[in-house]
Structure 1
């Protein structure tokens, strides 16, 4: 199960209410202009303000029918006789109303043509978003709700608007060697990091099945990343930039995790935060504490892997307990005062009392992060919750 989190956190009215309000704006403008015309002295010329109504309709609702209706109504009002409140209406300028009508018609035509171009651009944007969504789903595939006795849920919050994925990555696979998990963070965020994410995930999806040892899986990931960076460095650099070298600044933090049949844990960590263990106490209250399974190696990319890469071993994941894997964007998130987000307490609050439900934990942390940051994220955030479904005792 995967949830793509939308950036934002402030309360906004429903979509139906917004659409209704936007549609009413140009009507209010026309009504205001007419009231002004009726209630001000006869020498105050307000009718030309009606010419703005079609332009406002184009900018707000964007509906051609609304533009034409408001334009037609404005022309009729401009051609109408002086109001009874203005008995001395100006008759010495018979062409004034025609000039106002001409201005209104010109604005209607310009707004109509502009709206047509706008609609074409909107359709193209919707097509591009559909293509991008399909590509993003291929890179960061939706996870199943359950896999070999592990209940799971994942969520991703991109710091770049319009992007569903970015520099964070994760995957869970059932293999002959156990359930294997990867979570990582490529340098940068948003769409610019997707190429690196695709290279690492593509390698993991093959190596996790082929290699019996986590050490060999990590070496395969490192080789795939080096090839990707080398190929990228050979390409043409952006205008005004020097050619990029393969390993000068690019890196990826990676945590590999293996859950055996009886919950045994094995891990290999290259520069990534260790996960939290979320467990249910005898009282029914949840408890979260960070696991420390051993040495953290340098991230992949800048440095060669050591010859000796022993996988760390941890206590088995007990039935009902959950592992919470995350990227550093979760704990680096800050509010307007620069206060960091506290992930541990947020996990406890999101879990609530009773059995741990991964999807509930993910949704609770999502809401907490957005409230804390006000929807303004400096980095991508990924969260992956894995619960041992085996029955206790």
Structure 2
């Protein structure tokens, strides 16, 4: 529904932009006729090719410029200024502005194509990095939601992963500082380090330390990545929280618990600045329990009045028998709360423990 509304809005915008050059030429012509010979509005006909260069092609810009020239001749004859020095200057201005507008249109189209190529490459890289998570792992059922911050696919820094290892099911969700290709590159480092360490390291704290050491070799300055790394055990879940929003644990009876860490740990890339080191903390996680991991794009989503999305209150929506359907319902509620495109990418990883 949101995509349909956005598509309709874009279609209306394109229609208005394509009509604007002709509207401008028509308004100038009518105004000049009503004003009479005393006031000359002919120089304003340059608005036609100028507006055409904003969204039209080079050919369209030349066509609108030609139309402006054709309209100026009868108007100049009506005002009895045809072929006067003043009118010749107006005609020369129209020709010059049309040529400049056509050049601007050509440069705009070339830049748009270059940007589209770069975006396609980055989106392809992001799709390779953020591969689909398994829907089942041991006695867990897993659902994923990723909502872009705009109608077009924007390149963000949200990342996620779920892997089944000999040490248990391990999971990751994170948010890279910044956007664009730099964020995708940093996400690649985090995901690569996690996927390798998750299989090799028997201890969850060692997984976090290994990701941190790998990231320290890559990041520079004060860049960082907030993340939660988890490991599901027989009847509990261990978590490492690196400056990330606390996951929500939804008990079988409906109670919601914020899985806050016992000791605050700085984000990845800044762990050395903390005092407590990397220490996992545990919560019971038995049959029927659920856990929702998410990025800050969810809880920082605002409605038109500026109110944040009340995720803790809306966690009760996660009741559908199918975890993916439950998460889709929560995502729909999030988008309805905002009433338009999100201000930041929003990723959610939802895990439900089913009886064997």
Q: Say whether the fold is shared (TM-score over 0.5).
A: yes
User: Taking structure 1 as the reference length, what is the TM-score of the superposition?
Assistant: 0.73
- Please name the residue that 2:59 is paired with: 65
Alignment partner of 1:314 out of 284, 289, 293? 284
CA contact (8 A) 2:240 2:278 kept: no
Partner-residue secondary structure (3-state), 2:272: coil
User: How far off its partner does 1:93 sit?
Assistant: 5.8
The verdict on how the C-alpha distance between 1:279 and 1:125 changes in structure 2, with shifts beyond 3 A counting, is same
Pairwise CA RMSD of aligned residues? 3.8
Q: Residues 352 and 364 from structure 1, CA distance in 2 versus in 1: closer, same or farther, beyond 3 angstroms?
A: farther
The CA distance in 1 between the partners of 2:243 and 2:118, in whole Å, is: 35
Match of 1:120 among 106, 110, 120: 110
1:274 pairs with one of 241, 246, 259: 246
CA 1:45/1:252 → structure 2, altered by over 3 Å: closer, same or farther?
A: closer
Query: How far off its partner does 1:36 sit?
Result: 1.7
Whole-Å Cα distance in 2 between the matches of residues 305 and 49 of structure 1?
67
Among candidates 287, 294, 301, match of residue 326 of structure 1: 294
Q: What per-residue deviation string (whole Å, max 9, x for no partner) do you get for residues 220-271 of structure 1?
A: 2233233334xx4xxxxxxxxxxx5xxxx555444222235x6753334444
Matches within 5 A, 1:287-306: 287=254, 289-292=256-259, 295-299=262-266, 300=268, 301-303=271-273
Is 1:49 the counterpart of 2:44? The answer is yes
Aligned 8 A contact 2:314 2:330 in 1: no
Residue 122 of structure 1 deviates from its aligned partner by 1.3
Q: Matches of residues 162-241 of structure 1 in structure 2 within 5 Å?
A: 163-166=154-157, 168-186=158-176, 188-191=177-180, 193-229=183-219, 232=220
Residue 17 of structure 2 is aligned to residue 22 of structure 1: yes
Q: 1:156 and 1:163 mapped to 2: Cα distance?
A: 10
Task: Check the 8 A contact 2:28/2:42 in 1, yes or no.
Answer: yes
For structure 1, the residue ranges without an aligned partner over 5 or more in a row are: 233-243, 282-286
2:43 is the alignment partner of 1:78: no
What TM-score does the superposition give when structure 2 sets the normalisation length? Answer: 0.79
Change in CA separation of 1:109 and 1:264 when aligned onto 2, cut-off 3 Å:
same
Report how far residue 28 of structure 1 moved: 0.7
Distance 1:250 1:108 in 2: 47
Q: Distance in 1 between matches of 2:98 and 2:251?
A: 65
Partner residue, 2:27: 32
Question: In structure 2, the residue corresponding to 1:255 is in which secondary structure?
Answer: strand
CA contact (8 A) 2:46 2:97 kept: yes
CA contact (8 A) 1:347 1:365 kept: no
- Tell me the CA shift for residue 355 of structure 1: 5.1
Per-residue displacement from partner, 1:353-380 (whole Å, max 9, x unpaired)?
A: 6654244145235415634xx7674x76
Note if contact 1:362-1:383 (Cα within 8 Å) is conserved in structure 2: no
1:364 to 328, 332, 339: 332
Q: Rate the CA distance shift 1:137–1:342 in 2: closer, same or farther, 3 A.
A: same
Q: Distance in 2 between matches of 1:97 and 1:222?
A: 71
After superposition, residues 336-375 of structure 1 pair within 5 angstroms as: 339-349=307-317, 351=318, 356=323, 357-361=325-329, 363-364=331-332, 366-367=334-335, 370-371=338-339
Q: Distance in 2 between matches of 1:352 and 1:313?
A: 21
**Residues 13/386 of structure 1: CA separation in 2 closer, same or farther (3 Å cut):** same
CA positional deviation for 1:334: 5.4
Question: Per residue, is there more helix in 1 or in 2?
Answer: 2
- Measure the CA separation in 2 of the matches of 1:98 and 1:310: 80
1:131 corresponds in structure 2 to 121
Given the superposition, is the C-alpha separation of residues 164 and 105 from structure 1 closer, same or farther in structure 2, using an over 3 Å criterion? same
| Residue 293 of structure 1: how far off its partner (Å) | 7.7
Structure with greater contact order relative to length (CA < 8 Å, sep ≥ 6):
1
Are residue 383 (structure 1) and residue 351 (structure 2) matched? no
Residues of 2 paired with 1:307 and 1:74: CA distance? Answer: 71
Report the 3-state secondary structure (helix = DSSP H, G, I; strand = E; otherwise coil) of the residue aligned with 1:302.
helix
Shift of 1:43: 2.6
